[in-house]
Chains A and B, each alone.
Chain A
Amino acid sequence: MILRSHHRILVFGATGRQGTFWTGEMIKYGARVVGAVNPRKAGETHLGLPVLGSAADAAGEFEVALMFVPPGAARDAVIDACEAGARLIVCLAEHIPVHDVMEMLAAARLHGSLVAGPNTAGLVTPGESFAGIMPAFNDAMFRPGTVGVISRSGSLGALACLNLSRRGFGQSTFFGVGGDQIIGTTTREALELLDHDPGTSAVVICGEIGGNAEEEAAEYASGMSKPVIAFIAGRASPPGKKMGHAGALVDGGTGSYASKRCSLEASGVAVANLPGELPELIAAAVQAA
């Protein structure tokens, strides 16, 4: 699902330092935040929001759960949110033990909840709402428009949106899929979402080395009528090293830049050498379509 202004958002960990700052920014931006969750502060009020002990206390009264919880508490928080009927869960934490990630994603599948992340910078629908740690309020970077942006990285996604906005290409939505090895919504699944979104006319994929997310997305893109373009980070990275993200590792021949670029180009996806080339490629693709 794409985050909309009418979606009601419950923020886990909104009472912490970062949670307070970003939840405050979300409210200012117009995101419909309906409550905070912190079992130790249940019953209090924070940023004018009721603080609940558990998502169960707000069952049926929210669609989106945003997680500002530390890695060790993420699994239980996500399971709490799915059991309370969350349709979409945005999980920001990095370094969640991988077994916990598998458990929470299995629980989400069971309850029909979509998870963005872990290790995502969040979701932005310019002019409507945002959930996470992206500066949606920076209007040089994010503007309403029709280009959907998918990114494994927050900082690179921000740069891509900045380049697009500067050349007049606003965004239908920004979907941060996350930099971890195992994530709830893959690049391919996010691409499918944007393909079905009537507000999206073209898609930019910001990928990176490691895993096979871009190869899977390329396969899906080959059957799309909307133009898709991409940039893949990590061409100059040495193999065998985790490049900051747990998922950014070229290991024993898999996950290489060459493999990703080849798959994407074979599917008709133009690949930018640098993010600065994205606007020209999008302009050319839109004109051709």
Chain B
Amino acid sequence: MNFEEWVSKPLLREFGIATPEGAAFDNPQAARAAFQGPCTVKAQVPAGARGKAGGIKFAFSPEEAFEAAAGILGSTISGHHVERVLVEEKVEIEQELYAAVLTDRTNRCPSILFSAAGGVDVENMAASRESAMHSLQVDILNGFSLEQAEKLVADTGIGTAEGLVAETLTRLYAAYRSLDAELLEINPLAVTKDGRVVALDCKFTLDDASVARQPGLAGKGAPESRTDLERAAAKEGLRLIQLDGSVGILANGAGLTMTTMDAVAHFGGSPANFLEIGGDAYTKAEPALRIVLSQPGVKSLLVNFCGAFARTDVMAAGVVKAWKRLNPAIPAFFSVHGTGEEKAVALIRDELGIEPFDRMDDAVKAAVAAAGSKP
């Protein structure tokens, strides 16, 4: 789950990291009324490189603050509709640094990233600049000490305010741990002309598996772009990714569901969705089928089960029940193997009069043929 700057900066302040004075507004009148001196007006969208896209403007009078906010609000930045601007005091910058703590999946530990060359789009950093990125893997059982931070800062050689910057890094790590962050990034971290260390931006991603134990944060995340049907599926506890193909897919387990989509594409068809009912969701075949069938453009249904934990007889019973009730006009093709297979096959054969295919590939080919050629 991602958090916009206006939400994540107050979180940094709770951990003792300074940010510019400011507030977020959804209308230009409020931005004008809040003017107290030279300020920055920033579009609040979950995307990087906002400056280049015209999402960051400076204002030196109330009227300029109004105009900047009016120009940014309602515009589209990197595909996101801007609904809010952050108006902040303009800071006199001496030096721009980069600091982040992230979950390092290769080394299976938190890593600190620090560079004297901040302010740029780090993802697009040229190789020569990337060499200026210093990193430190943290032993999560021992934490990240001030001594380690001081050494990292000294090794990077920023020259000014090293003590304050090192302290900021330890606070950033404390915030990362307390907030169950996947990424907490400050770019730029500014050393100001008057010697303060201030976070000018903040990117915060919360670990999706930790949302439940961070109840204070869950409601503040940037909304995910989801279709109505994806939202309806989520309400049923199902993970749907809606695509625009014509073969509806129902399978168990993430790996098998992706594989089923691959097979549909391999034989010349186009998958209509990713919807898996594996794991604990294997009892949800009935709502899952209802969701797949309600998707426009679905011309055939492919049911591919390979049961391990998920019992195919339980899933088949759900599909049969829903199929009979909804009585859809499209053809369905089954491949069923694994736990509960015999019962599942008998159920589909007896109740629906459909003979499951022995080979998955044959079921896929038949479903693709029935959906017809690509539109």
Contact = CB atoms under 8 A, between A and B. Distances in A.
A95 interface: yes
Interface stretch (B162-170, B185-193, B288-296, B303-311): B303-311
B239 interface: yes
Contacts of A151: 255
Given A71-B209, A102-B140, A274 B361 contact: yes
A274 B266 contact: yes
B176 to A, nearest CB: 9
A97 interface: yes
Contacts of A40: none
B207 A99 contact: yes
A236 B254 contact: no
B265 A236 contact: yes
Interface residues on B, range: 35 or more
A273 to B, nearest CB: 6
A275 B259 contact: yes
A208 interface: yes
A209 interface: yes
Nearest to A248: B254
A106 B308 contact: no
A103 B141 CA distance: 6
A155 to B, nearest CB: 3
Interface in A245-289: 245-248, 252, 273-276
A157 B276 CA distance: 15
A20 interface: no
B141 A135 contact: no
B255 A99 contact: no
Contacts of B308: 121, 133-135, 154-155, 157-158
Contacts of A95: 208-209
A235 B252 contact: no
Interface string B337-363: 111010000000000000000011100
Contacts of B306: 155-156, 158-159, 162
B258 A135 contact: no
A95 B208 CA distance: 8
Given A134-B308, A155-B310, A236-B262, A99 B253 contact: no
B249 to A, nearest CB: 10
Nearest to B257: A244
B190 to A, nearest CB: 25
Given A235-B265, A273-B266, A155 B337 contact: no
A141 B341 CA distance: 11
B338 A135 contact: yes
B263 interface: yes
Interface residues on A, range: 35 or more
Interface stretch (B83-91, B106-114, B146-154, B323-331): B106-114
A95 B281 CA distance: 14
Contact of B262 (A121, A158, A274): A274
A65 interface: no
Nearest to A102: B140
Most buried by A among B105, B252, B258, B361: B258
A243 B274 contact: yes
A98 interface: yes
A153 to B, nearest CB: 2
Contact of A241 (B207, B241, B338): B241
A165 to B, nearest CB: 11
Interface in B206-242: 207-210, 213, 239, 241
B54 interface: no
A231 B210 CA distance: 31
Contacts of A243: 241, 254, 257-258, 274
A223 interface: no
Interface of A: 18, 71-72, 94-99, 102-103, 105-107, 110, 121, 133-135, 138, 140-141, 151-159, 162, 179, 181-182, 206, 208-209, 211-212, 231, 233-238, 241-248, 252, 273-276
